[in-house]
Amino acid sequence: MWMSVGVPLLVLLAVGGLLLLLNRSEFRAVFKRRNESRGIRKS
């Protein structure tokens, strides 16, 4: 029972983690571009 249920869960967690990392990197890039275009924050 646990093996048949645990394997797909591990796969989903791995894929979900990769998607989160990609989404974070893309979101940061877009956020930086927006800040640069607006010029609100200059660090």
Would you say 15 and 21 are in contact if contact means Cβ atoms under 8 Å apart? no
Interval 22-37: pLDDT, tens: 888 777 788 788 777 7
Least Cα distance to 33 among 21, 41, 20 occurs for 41
What are the structure tokens assigned to 43, written together?
């660090």
- Residue 10: the pLDDT is 92
- Residue 34: the pLDDT is 79
| Predicted model pTM | 0.46
DSSP 1-43: -HHHHHHHHHHHHHHHHHHHHHHHHHHHHHHHHHHHHHT----
Confidence band for 1, pLDDT divided at 50, 70 and 90: low
